[in-house]
Amino acid sequence: MSVRIIPRLDIKGPHLVKGVHLEGLRILGLPELFAERYYQDGADELIYLDQVASLYGRNHLAEIVSRAAERIFIPLTVGGGVRSVQDIQALLRAGADKIAINTAAISRPELIREGSRAFGSQCIVLYVEAKQRAPGSYECLTDNARERTGLDVFEWVQRAAELGAGEILLTSVDREGTGKGYDLELVSRVAGLVDIPVIASGGAGDVAHVQQVIDEGCADAVCAASLFHYALTDEMAGALQPERFTEGNVEFLKRALPLTSLGRRHINPIRIPALKARLWNPVAQSA
Amino acid sequence: MEPGGPERVTIIDYGLGNLFSLQRALAHLGVPGEVTEDPGKIRDAVRLILPGVGAFGDGMQQLRARGLVAPLLEAASRACPLLGICLGMQLLFTESEEFGRHEGLDLIRGRVRRLHPQRPDGRRVKVPHVGWSALRLPPGRSDWSGASLRRHQPGEAMYFVHSYVPCPESESVVTAVMEYGGRAYCAVVESGSLLGVQFHPEKSGEPGLRLLKQFVERPHLERIGIQ
């Protein structure tokens, strides 16, 4: 039972959002309500990723994390737009425990070394957005999968581990938001290349996918967003108050659209306690 | 101090790691926590926490550079309750083999060793260990009554981030063990007024907060030297 189960909260402005392939972001509600529920449900950690910070500069992220850290006492990983040791320090001060870095680490790999020297390796999470370019070949993308780098994922994760990264958050851009399952080849190859823990992300649509990425992908931790978020949207409906959201894609909130109407046919949402019960006690479940 | 109210906890800042989470957890429990590197405040503390992440050698070097070793030993010698967390727990021991051999505070006899990189069956084990592991009773112990885990049940999990772990000379100081990679390791040690935990109670949800609460409410063994 050592594999960690980690909800991922994608943040845009003050909102919790979710897209497909990191695009087409749809507002799901208030991140603090989801985060609090995940904490009560026994999430092992939480990951916050600001989806636009790299493009438009930091806005609400530190504030969201700061509110969460006063009430939620599990590790909080935070990323999006982190460019310097000062940015890392600011997010740690706000309440983050680990900082996820993608774009800035690729443009200046020394940031990984500087961050791990200053705050410890356990603090620095390499965030990888992996896009398949040919069978067995993956390229790192940056800026929420908007920019190509030409950098090979397998070379980069090894380099980053040598520079002092403490964990790797590995997102398959191709699978992200689709519910079609994790990219097992991608995850298992990275997990075999580095000694640091690998957090698999992108594609979880049901319990079987999570089981697969643990058994076949050899993931040390499992991250999912849609799988958990959509299990809460009914419960949160009363608290969501779509009129509070003045900008962005709020159609989902206003119309309470079923998942199937929006191309989420592949997602069978589940709450964390039920997921854990089925992963760790399959016999009890079938009895 | 308010009669019956929480006493101030002094958190030792020696430049390693992130102390904000610990402060927040104490604030949540309603306990005033002061982060300091002032040797005088550490020597005269009512209750001490030695936190820390990173390498053992760096930790001792930073404690020495700030002149904090003697005040710490002095506080320990008058039985000031002292909680060591993660690296802070390891520093309580005699020595460590992390990047060479380094001497520790030697408040508890024993050596800090690297986690075993293989399971007993030869399969690879990831080091560092990052994640949740259940606390278990060590061999020969039937419960946690009288220990700092008196409010916990075997099987409750805590959050660990470490590559090294202490191996005490005497098994009698081990309150709890945990399992990683098919092997049992020391997770909680207690010796007199000293309490050491390899995990992060401030990041272990409600069970972690319960342990911190137990520590801050724990009565002093002696009152000598406390104003």
Domains of chain A: 4-286 (3.20.20.70)
Closest residue in A to B17 (Cα–Cα): A119
Mean residue pLDDT of chain A comes to 88
Write the pLDDT tens digit of every residue in B17-55: 778 899 999 999 999 899 999 999 999 999 999 998 888
Cβ distance A2 to B180 less than 8 Å, yes or no, reads yes
Angle CA(A187)–CA(A192)–CA(A194) in degrees, nearest 5? 100
Written as six digits, the tokens of A141 are 């993308």
- Quick one: pLDDT at residue A243? 59
Indicate if the pLDDT at residue A22 is higher than 70: yes
Q: Report yes or no on B107 lying in a domain.
A: yes
Residues of A in contact with B28 (CB under 8 A): 70-71, 73
**pLDDT band, residue A26 (cuts 50/70/90):** confident
CB atoms B53 and A122 under 8 Å: yes
Q: Say whether A120 and B16 touch across the interface (CB within 8 A).
A: yes
Q: Of the given ranges (A11-15, A106-110, B85-89), which has the lowest mean pLDDT?
A: A11-15
Question: Across residues A221-244, what is the average pLDDT?
Answer: 80
What distance in Å separates the CA atoms of residue B15 and residue B18, rounded to the nearest whole number? 9
B223 domain residue, yes or no: no
pLDDT of residue B2: 44
Q: Is the peptide bond before B128 cis (omega within 30 degrees of 0)?
A: yes
What is the average pLDDT across B177-198?
A: 97
Phi and psi (nearest 5°) for B58?
A: -60, -40
Q: B187 vs A110, A161, B86, B164, B190, CA distance in Å?
A: 34, 27, 9, 11, 10
In a mutational test of the B interface, the residue from A1, A2, A117 whose CB has the highest number of chain B CBs within 10 Å is A2
How many whole angstroms separate alpha carbon B74 and alpha carbon A268?
Answer: 59
Which residues does residue A152 pair with via DSSP β-bridges, in sequence order?
Answer: A139
How far is CA A245 from each of CA A12, A17, A27, A136, B223, rounded to the nearest angstrom? 12, 12, 9, 42, 57
> Tokens 């002095």 — which residue?
B74
Run of H or E including A223: strand A221-224
Pair B133, B180: CB distance under 8 Å: yes
Helix (H, G, I), strand (E, B) or coil at A247: coil
Q: What is the ipTM of this complex?
A: 0.90
- The alpha-helical segments, DSSP class H, found in A151-193 are 153-163, 184-193
pLDDT at A251 (0 to 100): 66
B98 within some domain:
yes
Residue B67 token pair: 């002149």
Chain A interface with B: residues with Cβ < 8 Å:
1-4, 39, 42, 44, 69-71, 73-75, 92-93, 95, 97, 119-123, 166-167, 195-197, 220-221
Q: Is the model's pLDDT at B223 over the cut of 60? A: no
**Residue B131's pLDDT is what?**
96
Q: Count the domains in chain B.
A: 1
The predicted pLDDT at position A271 comes to 96
Mean pLDDT, rounded, for B5-23: 84
Burial B195-212 (b: 16+ CB within 10 A, else e): bbbbbbbbbbbebbbbbb
User: Residue B154 half-sphere exposure, CB side, CA atoms within 13 Å?
Assistant: 14
The pLDDT score that the predictor gives to residue B7 is 75
**pTM, 2 dp:** 0.92
More confident residue, B225 or A47: A47
Give the whole-angstrom CA distance, residue A31 versus residue A13: 10
Number of H helices, E strands in chain B: 6, 13
Chain B residues close to A73, C-beta within 8 Å? 21, 24-25, 28, 202-206, 208-209
B85 domain residue, yes or no: yes
**Residue range A169-193, pLDDT digits in tens:** 999 999 999 999 999 999 999 999 9
Q: Is residue B69 part of a domain?
A: yes
Confidence at residue B1, expressed as pLDDT on a 0 to 100 scale: 43
pLDDT above 50 for B145: yes
Mean pLDDT of B2-13: 74
CATH number at residue B82: 3.40.50.880
Element (H, E) at A152: strand A147-152
What are the φ and ψ backbone dihedral angles of A193, each rounded to 5 degrees? -90, -25
Q: What is the mean pLDDT of residues A28-53?
A: 93
Place A85 in a pLDDT band, splitting at 50, 70 and 90: very high
- State the catalytic residues of A: 10, 129
Q: How far apart are CA A53 and CA A67, in angstroms?
A: 19
Q: Tell me the C-alpha distance between A14 and A31, whole Å.
A: 8
pLDDT, mean over chain B: 92
Judged by CB atoms closer than 8 Å, whether chains meet at A122 and B209 is answered as no
Which domain, by its residues, includes B132? 9-217
Identify the bridge partners of residue A124 per DSSP, sorted by sequence position.
Answer: A99
pLDDT of A287 reads 39
Which alpha helices (DSSP H) does A95-183 contain, by range? 103-107, 110-119, 153-163
Q: Does residue A264 have a pLDDT over 80? A: no
Asked whether the beta carbons of B179 and B165 are under 8 A apart, the reply is no
- Residue B1 domain-assigned (yes or no): no
